[in-house]
Amino acid sequence: MLLWKWNSLYWTNHPLRGMIFLENNNVVEVIVTILAWCVIAWIAYRLYKGQSDKPEIWKVLVVILVGLFSFSFNTEMFGMVMRISILPLGVWVLYAYFRKKNDEWQTYRPFAWFGFAANFILLIFTLLVVPIFFAIYPENEPSTYLSNIDDASLIGGDDQIEHIRYLDELEIETVD
């Protein structure tokens, strides 16, 4: 686990963002990210088992992680920044590395492309975060934002006088 903080805008929907658990305080997003990485690990295991020529596991992990790197653009959807991958830069780098070793490229190519496909698995799971989050934390419920709403009151400052007068008209109790 990484202990330092990175720029949160950069890490929003980054392929390795699931490794930054200490920065993220959204429990739904952390759980869905862990689930996404479990799905990625399960598919990688199935892909590895299906190979007739078994490469070394550490090399497979490196190839998948390098395959994750891509040229992508960030767009905002549903109030979250989504990273949509376009060009598989990691696959191209691996192809350049294995260019002279055609047999090894044939062995590692499925894992490189799976690394690129893992970007889309993470994107799909990120899209699942929004409905799950709003199912657990309804937006229109005050209890989503306040733990005790029985004796809730509003404390106004000098710059909020007009708002407090409006709230007084609505018969909402304010504290001076």
| 85-95 pLDDT tens trace | 888 888 999 98
pLDDT for 161: 57
169: confidence class by pLDDT, cuts 50, 70, 90: low
Considering the entire predicted model, what is its pTM? 0.68
Return mean pLDDT, the chain.
76
Mean pLDDT of 154-168: 58
Element (H, E) at 126: helix 102-136
Chain Cα centroid distance, residue 118: 12
| 29-69 pLDDT tens trace | 888 889 999 999 999 999 999 888 888 889 899 999 999 89
| 94-120 pLDDT tens trace | 989 988 887 888 888 899 999 999 999
Please check whether residue 61 is in contact with residue 146, taking contact to mean a CB–CB distance below 8 angstroms: no
The percentage of the chain sitting over the pLDDT mark of 70, rounded to a whole number, equals 67
How far is residue 68's CA from residue 149's CA, in Å, rounded to a whole number? 46
pLDDT for 9: 39
6: confidence class by pLDDT, cuts 50, 70, 90: very low
Please check whether residue 69 is in contact with residue 93, taking contact to mean a CB–CB distance below 8 angstroms: yes
CA-to-CA separations, 44 to 13, 52, 119, in angstroms, rounded: 20, 15, 13
